[in-house]
Structure 1
Amino acid sequence: MTQEAAEQPPLRLVIDDSARDPSSKIWYALPAGYLNVPIDALDPEPGSEQETYLQQAMELVLGLAPEDQRDRYTGALRDVRFMAARMRSEGVIACSLGMHYADNGTSAMSVFTVALKDIDWAPAKITAVRAVALRESTENVELLTLPGGRPASISDTLITTPDLAGVPGQDLYQCTLYIPAPSGTQLGVLTLSSTAVGSRKHYRDMMAGIAHTVSFHDPMPEIERAARGDGPDGTGGIAGDIASDFG
């Protein structure tokens, strides 16, 4: 080991509570800079305890808002709830917001979503190709080979959003991963969206790295063994693998 390698701090993995949720059906790793957005909490069932908590939180936010801005805050909170409901209706089960530095030194924000769709059974490679081919505006299509020889596909594109409520439209970068589950009856769809179109290469490379961490079976036992240094070679191999995925 070189001195430079020895001085590098060990990779720190932060494990979200959702990774230990027994109802989870898909697992993945994100690089630093992403914050989980609780979609379920923003779109609770009517009459539920969660809805009461959300209403109390919204009232607290509105109570702190300047009086002349409360209508604006009310509209923004309503839009957030609408967006959360829309995402859930489209099969989105997880959402994260990311903040990073763009190539020009400014801050860049991205939205990362995960959807899990039920599909008719087909060979995994056919599913990966078919999914990306059905997109209306697909560019830069590439087939990926994930650990274990699993197939996946990735594509990205630039779209222009329409003008909304006095806000001018702007270019939006989108990169999407399609990863068939081993069962052949589910498809993971992972999408990143960002207005930092100049960073598209960085985001595409990052999404390819994320693809290599996706699992449809619980990886926590293996991760916990690696954290204890119980890997086959006496080291934590999972951490090294994830570090490699994200460069």
Structure 2
Amino acid sequence: MTADRGNSPKSTVGTSEPKPDYWYLIPHGYVPLDLDPPVEQIQALIAHVRSLPGDRRDQAERVLRFYAGIVTSMNAEGVLACLFGMHPDEEGGPVFSVLTFSTVTTPGNAKLAVAGLAAAAEGSAGPGVIPLELPSGLGYLSEEKRKMAAPGRQPAADSADPPTEEVWQGTVGIAGRGSEVIMIQIATPAVEFGDTYRDILLGIAHTFSFTDPNEPDEGSSQGGTSEPGSVAAAIRSDFG
């Protein structure tokens, strides 16, 4: 599977439709998810999972619960695009993650807000926000391990609290036009692979662009082509 070019979900294919707001490369192992699937599709998916052999069914049910929890959270937070990732671990088993794109509106100028956040982070002695210089402009990286509800699991007999599981979550914020900050986020229950997913997240961020790659660059007859040795060319090589 080669890397595909993604774009803002606000647009659809067709000359009469508005152009996408931004573009990015989708790395190996990620496929788009429907954030508002029809009931029939969910029922068919549940039936398929229940028909699997015991060991595979347990693993698939865990993924389905993770997906259900992520989708519920994404809809509540106004996520624009969601992609599901599956990659092999050292033993050949599957490792799952969720990649999302969303926007956050700042009170003022997004570039000033991101610059202020990055400047404050540079003076911090502890882990937190790391400023980034990206091809699309100023940004930052943050990551954390946190607990999230494990949907579909019943509370323990001696507790009324819903069960939780630990996830690794990485976020890149990119200053957009006006007051919007573009948020690119990866979450995975495979916390031991946090370093790997950080690299994937940064790779996506380096391919992110507000410029249509299909349009010719000024002074060039080749549209959407990166110079050999550039960061974008290196990311494209890594992703396919």
TM-score of the superposition, structure 2-length normalised?
0.66
2:98 alignment partner, one of 111, 127, 133: 111
Structure-2 residue corresponding to 1:196: 190
Alignment partner of 1:209: what SS? Answer: helix
Deviation, 1:83, is: 5.5
Alignment partner of 1:219: what SS? Answer: coil
Does the 8 Å CA contact 1:92/1:114 hold for their aligned counterparts?
Answer: yes
1:231 alignment partner, one of 189, 198, 222: 222
1:165 alignment partner, one of 154, 157, 162: 154
Deviation, 1:36, is: 0.2
Deviation, 1:154, is: 0.1
Does the 8 Å CA contact 1:158/1:173 hold for their aligned counterparts?
Answer: yes
Alignment partner of 1:161: what SS? Answer: strand
Structure-2 residue corresponding to 1:92: 79
Identity %: 24
Where in structure 2 are the equivalents of 1:43-122 lying within 5 Å? 54-58=38-42, 80=68, 84=71, 86-103=73-90, 105-122=92-109
| Whole-Å separation in 1 of the counterparts to 2:168 and 2:192 | 9
1:211 alignment partner, one of 205, 209, 231: 205
| Whole-Å separation in 1 of the counterparts to 2:203 and 2:163 | 33
Deviation, 1:92, is: 0.4
Does the 8 Å CA contact 2:32/2:84 hold for their aligned counterparts?
Answer: yes
Structure 1 residue 37 corresponds to structure 2 residue 33 = yes
Deviation, 1:57, is: 3.5
Alignment partner of 1:126: what SS? Answer: helix
Does the 8 Å CA contact 1:230/1:236 hold for their aligned counterparts?
Answer: no
Q: Deviations over 1:158-192 (max 9, x none)?
A: 113356424853321000011110x2311101110
Q: Deviations over 1:67-97 (max 9, x none)?
A: 9xxxxx9xx79x94x8645423312000000
AA of the residue aligned to 1:145: E
2:113 alignment partner, one of 122, 126, 142: 126
AA of the residue aligned to 1:165: Q
Structure-1 residue corresponding to 2:235: 245
Counterparts in 2 of 1:196 and 1:128: CA distance versus 1, 3 Å: farther
Counterparts in 2 of 1:128 and 1:206: CA distance versus 1, 3 Å: farther
AA of the residue aligned to 1:178: G
Alignment partner of 1:215: what SS? Answer: coil
Structure-2 residue corresponding to 1:8: none
Counterparts in 2 of 1:157 and 1:220: CA distance versus 1, 3 Å: same
| Whole-Å separation in 2 of the counterparts to 1:220 and 1:165 | 50
Q: CA RMSD in A?
A: 4.0
2:141 alignment partner, one of 135, 144, 154: 154
Structure-2 residue corresponding to 1:26: 22
Does the 8 Å CA contact 2:7/2:22 hold for their aligned counterparts?
Answer: no
Q: Deviations over 1:209-229 (max 9, x none)?
A: 111111234333259xxxxx9
AA of the residue aligned to 2:134: L
| Whole-Å separation in 2 of the counterparts to 1:190 and 1:66 | 33
Counterparts in 2 of 1:95 and 1:162: CA distance versus 1, 3 Å: closer
